[in-house]
Structure 1
Amino acid sequence: MKVLVVGIGSMGLNHIKVLMQLKKEGLVTEVYAVDIDRQRLEAVKGQGVDLTFTDYHDAIKYKPDLGIIAVPTTLHYSVASELMNHMDLLIEKPVTERLDEALDLYRKSKILGRKILVGHIERFNPVYKALINDVNNERPIYVESMRINRLRGNPQSYGNVLLDLGIHDIDLVLDMVNEDKVRVLSTVLRGNPITTAWALLSIGDIIYVLHASWDYEVRVRKIHVTLRNRYYEADLLNRVLIRDGTRHVVEGPDQLRQELIHVLSVLRGVERPIIDITDGIKALAVVNGILTNSPIIDLGELLT
């Protein structure tokens, strides 16, 4: 399996590190890297990357099986549109900056028969997995999420805090609840671009409150879930699950490693995708609905 990583920023570099481990284990045969920064390319070449390029077009002739897109969000669509003609893709979240772009990629993937997965890495968080297993398909009444992390990079590379942070929790809640009708009841959006957001949503008959921010010096990644007969607090950052006041430390493997092993298994036909482009589109549609204050978002109609 030959893998191409496009974009060697912080996330792309993380992919490279894990891929080099997987190469030693025989799960990957070759790793290629693309970036406009030659110093970054020299750095990853020193880590064992087989070939490096400043233009991803030059890498296509080596016939990678998988392309990992880790460029700034604004470039996701243009890069994916070209690469999907030649290989299957893993696109870092959000799948694209705009909903119409994501839907276009979806239509093209159906025509081409390409697999497109989206890097919503929290699906592989052991605390989230433990939460889902314990809830065991029981329907929540109320869900609240808080995700706070000071932005160290350029806000333009991330779009806004909902595309960067909030979309993680939106994806998890959509996965947990599995409903297509989403209503935006109220929003508070601050900053230009938006750096702090609150949103009150109903997903089916479940109330969901989201808070995402770049504006504080603390780091928080928590989801609170209330069922009729019990209550959970899932600390995704510190890997702790609290059920009805009882604290459980959740051990588990590295999330990115688990994600990449899963993607490789999907490409080999061994596993079904945990999160593909349709899930990425649904999460992006909810973000879009919050940003535009759309009263109703019908996720079922998006993909018909």
Structure 2
Amino acid sequence: MLKVGVIGCGAIAQRRHLPEYSKRSDVEIVAVCDFNLERAKEVAQTFGAKFAFQTHQELLACEEIEAVSVCAPNFLHASITLDAIHAGKHVLCEKPMATSLEEAKSMVDAASEKGVKLMIGHSQRFMPVHLKAKEILDEGKLGKVLSFQTTFGHSGPENWSVDGSKSWFFNQDEAFAGVLGDLGVHKADLIRWLLNDEVSEVSAMYGTLHKNTNVDDHAVITIKTHKGAIGTLTASWTYYPNENNSTIIYCEKGTLKIGTDDKFGLIVEHLNKHRELYEMDKMQTNEAGGQTDSGIIDHFVEGILSGQGHSITGIDGYKALEIVLAGIHAANEKKNISLIATI
């Protein structure tokens, strides 16, 4: 039995972490916390947690807790994670793992030094369509990846966050970045994982097209990989009314399309015009019910209980964050940015 605590009781905790922990017979939710104590108490009652606290320090003081989910605003991810690591807890930290590479590296180093596990919540990897796409690409039958386009857009956090338009997502001091920190970082992780390749160079443009906020609501990053593929990553909070979570990968011997068809989640088009159509589970979305069964909590729990660890490590979180930060820098400086391995 793994005893867990959840830090932050916003939408991601209520719609993903806590429901998925609750479904497991080998997990006990010991405590939750939120700066809004009344919210914490309501969430504790809903999900059967024994304790509701206002601060993460109180939660971490519970010796019986072995692992925590960090679901706080972005600017608190690093400090809370470091406190949890130093308290000897395993950590599942929501993305982006930090607001700077220095913070991210300190988290990775601390987990290594303390001998605890640090996993980052990049849930795109666990979608059935992405797992199947990864399998096909790894088989090599489509040949070398030449180019790609990956997109993640919806109508914005005001339609999903428990705080609506007043959400911390729209406050730069708390979010540090807008849609790039929310959706772009997911796709940064996804593309390097799918392609089994690292990003070597980026250029970018971003802006605030429609939201009343001081953070970006639309961004496009152009990416070149070490193996030579060139593609684009688009993230947006201005896709009204429908969500777009799609990826197209163009290879020497065919094209792989993910999330481009309402019926077939994955389509492979070969040079001889033959098409493979995969009717799979629909893409995980921000709609009601779309945040459950993500695979994230199962992987986190099983990685701890088995002792085998996790496939999405702090280093993966670091590299996804690095791409986003390089994109922001490239856009601000209006120049290409080369990424140099620092971890």
Q: Same fold (TM over 0.5)?
A: yes
Give the distance between the partners of 2:100 and 2:139, measured in 1 at CA: 32
Give the distance between the partners of 1:257 and 1:170, measured in 2 at CA: 18
Give the equivalent residue in structure 1 for 2:295: 258
What CA RMSD, in Å, does the superposition of the two structures yield over aligned residues? 2.1
Give the equivalent residue in structure 1 for 2:221: 199
Does 1:242 pair with 2:267? Answer: yes
Kindly tell me: are residues 59 and 236 of structure 1, through their superposed partners in 2, closer, same or farther at Cα, counting changes over 3 Å? Answer: farther
Q: Deviations over 1:174-224 (max 9, x none)?
A: 11223345111x322112411111111101201121111112313100000
Give the equivalent residue in structure 1 for 2:122: 120
CA-CA distance at 1:38 after TM superposition: 2.6
Give the equivalent residue in structure 2 for 1:29: 28
1:222 to 224, 246, 255: 246
Give the distance between the partners of 1:201 and 1:289, measured in 2 at CA: 10
Does 1:212 pair with 2:235? Answer: yes
Whether the aligned pair in 1 keeps the contact of 2:149 and 2:233 (CA below 8 Å) is yes
CA-CA distance at 1:250 after TM superposition: 1.0
Tell me the TM-score normalized by structure 1.
Answer: 0.91
1:94 to 93, 96, 102: 96
CA-CA distance at 1:148 after TM superposition: 0.8
Whether the aligned pair in 1 keeps the contact of 2:180 and 2:235 (CA below 8 Å) is yes
Letter in 2 for 1:271: Q
Give the distance between the partners of 1:39 and 1:236, measured in 2 at CA: 42
Give the equivalent residue in structure 2 for 1:66: 67
Q: Secondary structure at the match of 2:310?
A: coil
Q: Secondary structure at the match of 1:302?
A: coil
Tell me the TM-score normalized by structure 2.
Answer: 0.81
Whether the aligned pair in 2 keeps the contact of 1:222 and 1:237 (CA below 8 Å) is no
Equivalenced residues, count:
297
Does 1:174 pair with 2:192? Answer: yes
Give the distance between the partners of 1:255 and 1:69, measured in 2 at CA: 17
Q: Secondary structure at the match of 1:261?
A: helix
Letter in 2 for 1:162: L
Give the equivalent residue in structure 1 for 2:337: 295
Give the equivalent residue in structure 1 for 2:7: 6
Give the distance between the partners of 2:233 and 2:192, measured in 1 at CA: 12
Kindly tell me: are residues 237 and 117 of structure 1, through their superposed partners in 2, closer, same or farther at Cα, counting changes over 3 Å? Answer: farther
CA-CA distance at 1:30 after TM superposition: 3.6
Whether the aligned pair in 1 keeps the contact of 2:8 and 2:34 (CA below 8 Å) is yes
Give the distance between the partners of 1:68 and 1:260, measured in 2 at CA: 9
Give the equivalent residue in structure 1 for 2:333: none
Q: Secondary structure at the match of 2:318?
A: helix
Kindly tell me: are residues 221 and 260 of structure 1, through their superposed partners in 2, closer, same or farther at Cα, counting changes over 3 Å? Answer: same
CA-CA distance at 1:242 after TM superposition: 1.5
1:285 to 297, 322, 329: 322
Give the distance between the partners of 2:199 and 2:82, measured in 1 at CA: 29
- Structure 1 spans left out of the alignment, 5+ residues: none
Q: Deviations over 1:20-76 (max 9, x none)?
A: 221xx2x11343101122332232232212211111212223221111000000111
CA-CA distance at 1:270 after TM superposition: 4.4
Letter in 1 for 2:58: D
- Structure 2 spans left out of the alignment, 5+ residues: 159-163, 209-213, 270-274, 285-290, 331-335
Q: Secondary structure at the match of 1:46?
A: helix
Letter in 2 for 1:241: L
Q: Secondary structure at the match of 1:110?
A: helix
Give the equivalent residue in structure 2 for 1:43: 42
Give the distance between the partners of 2:325 and 2:104, measured in 1 at CA: 12
2:145 to 133, 140, 152: 140
Give the equivalent residue in structure 2 for 1:56: 56
